[in-house]
């Protein structure tokens, strides 16, 4: 417990110091994008907790982004209210959609969720009068807190960290609750869970709504940070990226998704100057993790401990007189 608290304090100190110690503002930008991705991946983790895989996750981000941007630009709604509306809009859409499609499992749900993401992109492209079509919405207002406009990287960074921490804490509490246990049980064996009196369909719909609502919130926050949104802002490939982060970090618990986003957001920057190698890197990391780290990076310490235990000479056998020389 003390070790966890110490690690948490250390992480908090590093996060707080980033704007001070970062060589330049680009690294602050990268830290903000990491926080945004942490939220997206945590949302996906909530859906994965009930054994489902949403390939339309970015679609909810796009929906949230447009809702918040349009409310702020057309109705002058304050950004915090826009963020709330975006979260609710994404969650409500997911609830409606989920009520119908969550009776499907496996590849069927993946396909329908993928289709939803594509439909949102096509709607954003087609509803030109509202969304400005492919050119997107420009000059989306930056958020303001107590009258202080967060339109610079250093000003926005604390908000991004606070939002990621809020989402992280919420998901952590959810996973630790009896509701979270039921979610995990559904992923493990839905029929057995149902026979224990749990309405698995309702639980799945709620999990899908929460996860997609988080994506809507993250999409909206991202839109106010970039001050721009277009149909290309959140596409199928973003859903693939979030999924890769989740698998690489670890699908179980809260730390896996966070670790996945923290590692895989800055990693492609090392290869941005190369042509196409970023995609190869993503693919290679995903394959390696699936092959050798089924629990993701978060399971690495336990795996290393296990390896050490199996490779260390057995203390009794080492001194046994029967041991062959």
Partner 1 sequence: MKRHCLAAAIAVLASGGARSETLLLGVNATLSGGGAIWGEGMLGAARAMADRVNEGGGVKIGDKTYTIDLKVYDDRYRPQDAVTAMDRLINDDGVKVVVGPMGSASTVATQARSTEAKVITLTMGFTPKAIGSALPYAFRPTITTTEFTGPQLAWVGAKLSPKRVRALLPNDETGQSVGASQKEAYKAIGVDLQLDFFDRERVDFVPVLTRILSQSDVLEIGGNSPTTAGLIIKQARELGYKGPILVTGGDVTAELVKVSGKQAAEGTYVHLPLDSGYAETAGYIRDFEAKYRKPVNGHNAFSFAGLQMLLEAMKRAGSVSDTTRIAAELEKVSAFPTIVGKAGWTGRERYGIDHQIDVPFYIGQIRDGVAVKVATCSYKSCE
Please report whether residue 138 would count as binding partner 1 according to CB under 8 A.
yes
Comparing CB distances to partner 1, the nearer of 80 and 126 is 126
Please report whether residue 24 would count as binding partner 1 according to CB under 8 A.
yes
Query: Any bridge partners for residue 228, and if so which?
Result: 138
Please report whether residue 275 would count as binding partner 1 according to CB under 8 A.
yes
Tokens coding 208: 């899908």
**SS3 sequence of 100-152:** HHCCCCHHHHHHHHHHHHHHHHHHHHHCHHHHCHHHCEECCCCCEECCEECCC
CA gap 321, 114 in Å, rounded: 64
Please report whether residue 64 would count as binding partner 1 according to CB under 8 A.
no
246, 261 contact by CB (below 8 A): no
Tokens coding 281: 């890197």
Comparing CB distances to partner 1, the nearer of 59 and 136 is 136
Return the range that interacts with partner 1 (CB under 8 A); candidates 191-199, 212-220, 266-274, 315-323: 266-274
CB 269 → partner 1: shortest distance, Å? 7
Pick from 96, 119, 122, 302: which binds partner 1 (CB under 8 A)? Answer: 122
Comparing CB distances to partner 1, the nearer of 272 and 319 is 272
Pick from 76, 147, 178, 276: which binds partner 1 (CB under 8 A)? Answer: 276
Q: What is the DSSP letter of 254?
A: T
Angle at 94 between CA 90 and CA 98, to 5 degrees: 180
Comparing CB distances to partner 1, the nearer of 275 and 325 is 275
Tokens coding 96: 């409606």
Spell 202-236 as b/e; 16+ CB within 10 A means b: ebbbbbbbbbbbbbbbbbbbbbbbbebbbbebbbb
CA gap 195, 210 in Å, rounded: 24
Q: How many residues make contact with partner 1 (CB under 8 A)?
A: 36
Comparing CB distances to partner 1, the nearer of 15 and 22 is 22
Pick from 99, 172, 226, 255: which binds partner 1 (CB under 8 A)? Answer: 226
Pick from 73, 123, 125, 184: which binds partner 1 (CB under 8 A)? Answer: 125
Please report whether residue 123 would count as binding partner 1 according to CB under 8 A.
no
211, 93 contact by CB (below 8 A): no
Comparing CB distances to partner 1, the nearer of 115 and 278 is 278
Binding stretches for partner 1 (CB under 8 A): 23-27, 29-30, 33, 122, 125-126, 128, 133-136, 138-139, 222, 226-228, 230-233, 235, 237, 269, 272-276, 278-279
């Amino acid at each position: 417990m003390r070790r966890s608290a110490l690690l948490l304090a250390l992480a908090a100190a590093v996060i707080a110091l980033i704007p001070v110690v970062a060589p330049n503002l680009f690294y602050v930008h990268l830290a903000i994008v990491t926080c945004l991705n942490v939220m997206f991946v945590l949302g996906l983790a909530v859906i994965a907790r009930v054994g489902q895989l949403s390939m339309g996750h970015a679609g909810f981000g796009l929906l949230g982004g447009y809702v918040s941007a349009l409310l702020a630009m057309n109705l002058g709604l304050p950004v915090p209210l826009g963020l709330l509306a975006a979260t609710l809009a994404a969650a409500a859409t997911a609830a409606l959609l989920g009520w119908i499609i969550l009776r499907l499992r496996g590849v069927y749900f993946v396909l329908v969720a993928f289709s939803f993401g594509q439909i949102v992109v096509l709607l954003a492209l087609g509803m030109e009068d509202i969304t400005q079509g492919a050119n997107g919405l420009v000059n989306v207002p930056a958020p303001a807190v107590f009258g202080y406009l967060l339109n610079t990287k250093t000003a926005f960074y604390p908000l991004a960290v606070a939002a990621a921490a809020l989402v992280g804490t919420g998901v952590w509490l959810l996973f630790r609750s009896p509701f979270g246990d039921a979610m995990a049980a559904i992923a493990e064996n839905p029929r057995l869970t149902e026979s224990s009196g749990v309405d698995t369909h309702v639980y799945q719909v709620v999990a899908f709504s929460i996860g997609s609502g988080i994506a809507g919130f993250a999409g909206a926050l991202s839109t106010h940070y970039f001050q721009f949104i277009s149909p290309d802002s959140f596409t199928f490939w973003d859903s693939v990226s979030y999924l890769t982060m989740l698998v690489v970090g670890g699908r179980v618990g809260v730390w896996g998704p966070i670790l996945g986003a923290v590692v895989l957001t800055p990693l492609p920057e090392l290869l941005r100057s190369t042509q196409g190698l970023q995609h190869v890197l993503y693919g290679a990391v995903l394959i390696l993790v699936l092959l050798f780290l089924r629990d993701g990076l978060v399971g690495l310490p336990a795996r290393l401990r296990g390896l050490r235990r199996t490779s260390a000479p057995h203390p009794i056998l080492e001194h046994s007189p029967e041991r062959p020389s």
